[in-house]
């Protein structure tokens, strides 16, 4: 019977180690995306500011996409 408990203990520890590794991977994504901000001006002196404010595995790439869309729209509207 002792060997059954030892085997179960090993499986539990393996699962815990796998969970911790996976959690660390996902939490690291929360800090991997730097904040980016750009202010563009037009010929009349008007300004528009585009800022990336996301972090993490899901919201980080989405924020980067929205930031780029903002910059592209500003350029199309005559901002440099």
Q: Is the pTM higher than 0.75?
A: no
How many whole angstroms separate alpha carbon 26 and alpha carbon 19?
A: 11
pLDDT along the chain (80 residues), means of 10: 59 71 58 77 96 74 89 96
Distances in whole angstroms, Cα of residue 37 to Cα of each of 11, 29, 69: 47, 20, 13
Report the pLDDT value the prediction gives residue 60, as an integer from 0 to 100.
75
Q: How many separate domains does the chain show?
A: 2
Report the pLDDT value the prediction gives residue 23, as an integer from 0 to 100.
62
> Per the structure block, which two tokens stand in for 23?
């959690």
Q: Are residues 48 and 68 in the same domain?
A: yes
Name residue, tokens 């440099």: 80
Q: Are residues 5 and 38 in the same domain?
A: no
Which range of residues forms the domain containing residue 13? 1-30
How many whole angstroms separate alpha carbon 68 and alpha carbon 18?
A: 36
Report the pLDDT value the prediction gives residue 72, as an integer from 0 to 100.
97
Q: Are residues 26 and 36 in the same domain?
A: no
Report the pLDDT value the prediction gives residue 21, as an integer from 0 to 100.
64
Q: Are residues 8 and 36 in the same domain?
A: no
């Amino acid at each position: 019977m002792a060997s059954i408990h030892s085997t179960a203990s090993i499986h539990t520890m393996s699962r815990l180690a796998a969970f911790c590794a996976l959690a660390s991977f996902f939490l690291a994504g929360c800090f991997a995306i730097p904040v980016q901000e750009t202010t563009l001006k037009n010929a009349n002196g008007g300004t528009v500011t585009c800022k990336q404010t996301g972090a993490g595995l899901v919201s980080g790439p989405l924020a980067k996409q929205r930031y780029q869309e903002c910059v592209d729209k500003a350029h199309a509207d005559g901002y440099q």
